């Protein structure tokens, strides 16, 4: 254990390789005790936001020309530096988020794994290069030499997520993939874990010095006011944004990006109810174990995962009654717990209250109550398929340990729900092999509304690997063509460029004819 009294948190922003202070405005809060921690931070002023983007712009001119091997070494050095400071980082994140130490240690491993995955990609790039050789003899017109490759977009703004203080924050997937692509970064730290952001930024600073990266390759600004975020995404210097958070804020920032004189891509990962479709035969055979697995999954991280299973769809009957009985049995003894922030807890409480006051919704079970009014109770609710289909309020994501069971009269109603689903990050289908084969229309309908279709498994736990897709049709994400996890995440921060008739001596090495992996035609 590290003695946190000996770990200095300065509350400063990190700009152009230098820590910069301003008069402080806010503390980070321990969400378990609901008391202020002794760490104070400043809301970045307009001039600080401006210096951060200018620093990223100047660094981009150098960083974009750095070799893939040097970028890979930089990403690996960041992982090493985070690992070297793992105790202070995870203990601080534990204080600021209330997440268990084991989860935070796992998340650190995942963060470093992502950084190393992108380093590996740089050394063995996924092949998106094409070469069409010139043909002077072609009739009726000669064919020019054209070569397709990519360029980094430019400085990228990254918003740290409240629910992943490491893997989706300062050195998380957005930062790692944008640095891998050759972009420079301005991170807007999440105010709920600003001290963790500062420690991780320190690790990036040490890695940048070790690898001789340009000052300004990475910048951190702190803030807890919308003006900081607004100024950042509307800065003409910023060429793309990575965001994980609420639909409401994601939409505000996405609209700002689209309305700029020069619109820029906004990659928002905004959440999902991750429906669980349970087919009849498997329900008959495994009602109790399916219900217990549902409860375990929806309680992971007290439900604060974008992949938490918040909706269950099944057909009424005896087997579903057995499922509900186990759901109630497993949920009732669960303790109330704090959430990532008092704001998130209060949003959860008001959404649950609204649903409980809705005459179409029935309570199946709630976990134990707590005298601490910022603690929230796990909750399972039920509703008919017709009421679910007709109510956008009931269909909405409740971020936290809540699930709504949708009781269908028959398969036709289940199919209708699948067809009318809003865009989701994931959905699961639980079925025996024989019934999966018999339900291909249902599978197809769900597939068109999700980014990841899961068979007989729960959605929590997103594998970091080449073939992962973590995205989905709106409102799960703002661009269903991209992923925020896995190798393909890097493509979000690159754009294509075609070099026509470029002298060979000037061509980038990547697209030189004969280079391994280049597709020639």
Of residues 149 and 304, the one with the C-beta less far from ligand NAP: 304
Of residues 246 and 326, the one with the C-beta less far from ligand NAP: 246
Of residues 92 and 376, the one with the C-beta less far from ligand NAP: 376
Neighbours of 349 (CB within 10 A): 17
CA nearest neighbour of 502 among 144, 118, 255: 144
| Minimum separation from the CB atom of position 49 to ligand NAP (A) | 12
Catalytic one among 257, 306, 402, 408?
306
Q: Which residues contact 297 (CB under 8 A, 6 or more apart)?
A: 308, 309, 458, 459, 460
Residues 329-368 that bind ligand NAP (CB under 6 A): 344, 347
Of residues 161 and 408, the one with the C-beta less far from ligand NAP: 161
Catalytic one among 81, 198, 205, 269?
269
- 399 part of the interface to ligand NAP, by CB under 6 A: yes
- Residue 446: which region, alpha, beta or left (left: phi > 0; alpha: psi -120 to 50)? alpha
| Minimum separation from the CB atom of position 131 to ligand NAP (A) | 40
d(Cα 419, Cα 445) in Å, to the nearest integer? 5
Q: Give the bridge partners for 241, in sequence order.
A: 157, 266
Residues 217-276 that bind ligand NAP (CB under 6 A): 223-226, 228-230, 244-246, 249, 252-253, 269-271
Give Cα separations from 118 to 20, 63, 176 (angstroms).
30, 16, 7
Q: Any catalytic annotation for residue 257?
A: no
Give Cα separations from 232 to 48, 61, 165, 187, 493 (angstroms).
10, 19, 20, 10, 17
Q: Are 313 and 277 in contact (CB under 8 A)?
A: yes
The correct pick among 115, 161, 402, 488 for binding ligand NAP (CB under 6 A) is 161
Give phi and psi for 41, each to the nearest 5: -135, 160
Can you read off the two tokens belonging to residue 15? 């700009």
Of residues 122 and 221, the one with the C-beta less far from ligand NAP: 221
| Minimum separation from the CB atom of position 114 to ligand NAP (A) | 16
| Minimum separation from the CB atom of position 243 to ligand NAP (A) | 7
| Minimum separation from the CB atom of position 491 to ligand NAP (A) | 20
Can you read off the two tokens belonging to residue 87? 């105790």
Of residues 2 and 246, the one with the C-beta less far from ligand NAP: 246
Can you read off the two tokens belonging to residue 343? 């704001």
- 431 part of the interface to ligand NAP, by CB under 6 A: no
- 188 part of the interface to ligand NAP, by CB under 6 A: yes
Of residues 108 and 341, the one with the C-beta less far from ligand NAP: 341
Q: Positive or negative, the Cα torsion across 411, 415, 416, 422?
A: positive
CA nearest neighbour of 337 among 300, 295, 294, 365: 300
d(Cα 200, Cα 18) in Å, to the nearest integer? 15
Q: Which residues contact 499 (CB under 8 A, 6 or more apart)?
A: 146, 147, 149, 507, 508, 511
Q: Are 387 and 395 in contact (CB under 8 A)?
A: no
Can you read off the two tokens belonging to residue 417? 């729900």
How many CA atoms lie less than 13 Å away from 132 in the CB half-sphere? 13
Of residues 260 and 519, the one with the C-beta less far from ligand NAP: 260
Neighbours of 303 (CB within 10 A): 25
Of residues 223 and 275, the one with the C-beta less far from ligand NAP: 223
Place of tokens 């909706």: 311
The correct pick among 13, 94, 110, 190 for binding ligand NAP (CB under 6 A) is 190
Q: Are 458 and 309 in contact (CB under 8 A)?
A: yes
The residue range among 159-167, 409-417, 496-504, 512-520 that interacts with ligand NAP, by the rule CB under 6 A, is: 159-167
Give phi and psi for 146, each to the nearest 5: -130, 140
Q: What angle do CA 425, 431, 433 make, to 5 degrees?
A: 120
| Minimum separation from the CB atom of position 277 to ligand NAP (A) | 21
- 11 part of the interface to ligand NAP, by CB under 6 A: no
| Minimum separation from the CB atom of position 504 to ligand NAP (A) | 47
- Residue 65: which region, alpha, beta or left (left: phi > 0; alpha: psi -120 to 50)? alpha
- 163 part of the interface to ligand NAP, by CB under 6 A: yes
| Minimum separation from the CB atom of position 120 to ligand NAP (A) | 26
| Minimum separation from the CB atom of position 360 to ligand NAP (A) | 22
| Minimum separation from the CB atom of position 25 to ligand NAP (A) | 10
Q: Any catalytic annotation for residue 306?
A: yes
Q: Give the bridge partners for 383, in sequence order.
A: 406
Can you read off the two tokens belonging to residue 336? 């109330």
Residues annotated catalytic, as ranges: 269, 306
Q: Which residues bind ligand NAP (CB under 6 A)?
A: 159, 161-163, 188, 190-191, 223-226, 228-230, 244-246, 249, 252-253, 269-271, 306, 344, 347, 399
């Amino acid at each position: 254990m590290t003695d946190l009294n000996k770990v200095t948190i300065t509350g400063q922003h990190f700009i152009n390789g230098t820590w910069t202070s301003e008069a402080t405005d806010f503390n980070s809060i321990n969400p378990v005790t609901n008391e202020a921690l002794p760490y104070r931070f400043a809301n970045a002023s307009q001039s600080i936001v401006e210096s951060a983007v200018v620093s990223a712009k100047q660094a981009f001119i150098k960083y974009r020309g750095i070799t893939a091997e040097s970028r890979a070494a930089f990403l690996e050095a960041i992982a090493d530096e985070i690992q070297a400071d793992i105790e202070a980082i995870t203990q601080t994140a534990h204080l600021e988020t209330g997440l268990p130490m084991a989860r935070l240690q796992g998340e650190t491993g995942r963060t470093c794994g992502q950084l190393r995955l992108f380093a590996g990609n740089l050394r063995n790039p996924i092949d998106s290069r094409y070469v069409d050789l010139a043909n002077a003899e072609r009739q009726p017109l000669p064919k020019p030499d054209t070569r397709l490759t990519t360029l980094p977009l430019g400085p990228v703004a990254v918003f740290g997520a409240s629910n992943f203080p490491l893997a989706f924050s300062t050195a998380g997937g957005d930062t790692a993939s944008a640095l891998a692509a050759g972009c420079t970064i301005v991170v807007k730290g999440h105010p709920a874990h600003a001290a963790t952001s500062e420690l991780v930024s320190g690790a990036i600073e040490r890695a940048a010095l070790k690898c001789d990266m340009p000052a300004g390759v990475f910048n951190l600004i702190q803030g807890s006011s919308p003006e900081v975020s607004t100024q950042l995404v509307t800065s003409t210097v910023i060429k793309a944004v990575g965001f994980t958070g609420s639909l409401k804020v994601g939409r505000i920032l996405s609209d700002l990006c689209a309305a700029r004189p020069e619109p820029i891509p906004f990659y928002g990962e905004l959440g999902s109810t991750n429906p669980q479709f349970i087919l009849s035969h498997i329900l008959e055979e495994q009602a109790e174990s399916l219900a217990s697995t549902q409860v375990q999954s929806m309680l992971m991280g007290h439900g604060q995962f974008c992949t938490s299973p918040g909706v269950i769809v099944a057909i009424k009957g005896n087997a579903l009654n057995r499922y509900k009985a186990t759901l109630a049995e497993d949920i009732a003894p669960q303790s109330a717990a704090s959430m990532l922030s008092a704001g998130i807890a209060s949003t959860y409480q008001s959404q649950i209250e609204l649903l409980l006051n809705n005459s179409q919704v029935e309570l199946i079970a709630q976990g134990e109550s707590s005298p601490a009014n910022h603690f929230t109770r796990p909750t399972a609710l039920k509703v008919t398929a017709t009421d679910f289909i007709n109510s956008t309020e009931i269909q909405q994501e409740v971020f936290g340990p809540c699930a709504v069971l949708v009781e269908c009269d028959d398969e036709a109603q289940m199919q209708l729900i699948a067809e009318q689903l809003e865009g989701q990050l994931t959905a699961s289908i639980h079925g025996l092999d024989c019934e999966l084969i018999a339900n291909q229309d249902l599978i197809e309908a769900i597939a068109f509304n999700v980014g990841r279709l899961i068979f007989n498994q729960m959605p929590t736990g997103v594998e970091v690997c080449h073939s992962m897709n973590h995205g989905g049709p709106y409102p799960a994400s703002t661009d269903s063509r991209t992923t925020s996890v896995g190798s393909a995440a890097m493509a979000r921060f690159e754009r294509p460029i075609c070099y026509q008739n470029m002298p060979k001596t000037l061509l980038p090495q990547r697209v030189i004819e004969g280079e391994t992996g280049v597709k020639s035609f």
